[in-house]
């Protein structure tokens, strides 16, 4: 079964603290993994994708195929990082734009 699991519904940290948003996936092939973010009153937008291996707004994520994880990390959280974060999987072998989303984690960065 194709599934994305984000075990934490809410993650609350203080400004300047490290952040790690967990994402585990279940997929037998080679998926593409993404992190999407939704700031308050804004539309869902792409934060980063594993194949580009880039850092956006200080966030990074490494695909660990052995542990089937794609955790999102940032060394020092900022208040503007407060948002809803979704991990998503696109079946790698499919000619499709379909995304399978996790339930999402609300990140709350306290001053």
Partner 1 sequence: KAGVTQTPRYLIKTRGQQVTLSCSPISGHRSVSWYQQTPGQGLQFLFEYFSETQRNKGNFPGRFSGRQFSNSRSEMNVSTLELGDSALYLCASSFSTETQYFGPGTRLLVL
Task: Pick the closer one to partner 1 by CB: 43 or 111.
Answer: 43
Among 45, 55, 78, 93, binds partner 1 (CB under 8 A): 45
Quick check: 56 binds partner 1 (CB under 8 A)?
no
CA-atom Rg of the chain in angstroms:
14
Stretch that binds partner 1, among 15-23, 60-68, 74-82, 93-101 (CB under 8 A): 93-101
Give the pairing of strands 105-110 and 10-14. Answer: parallel
Quick check: 90 binds partner 1 (CB under 8 A)?
yes
- How far is residue 94 from each of residues 74, 78, 98, measured CA to CA in Å? 31, 37, 9
CB of 44 to partner 1, least distance (A): 4
């Amino acid at each position: 079964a194709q599934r994305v699991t984000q075990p934490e519904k809410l993650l609350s940290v203080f400004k300047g603290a490290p952040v790690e948003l967990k994402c585990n996936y279940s997929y037998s092939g080679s998926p593409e993994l993404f992190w999407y973010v939704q700031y308050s009153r804004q539309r869902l937008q792409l934060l980063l994708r594993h194949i580009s291996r880039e850092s956006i707004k200080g966030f990074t994520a490494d695909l660990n195929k052995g542990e089937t994880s794609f955790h999102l990390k940032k060394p020092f959280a900022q208040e503007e990082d407060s948002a809803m974060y979704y991990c998503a999987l696109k079946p790698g072998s499919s000619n499709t734009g379909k995304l399978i989303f996790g339930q999402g984690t609300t990140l709350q960065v306290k001053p």
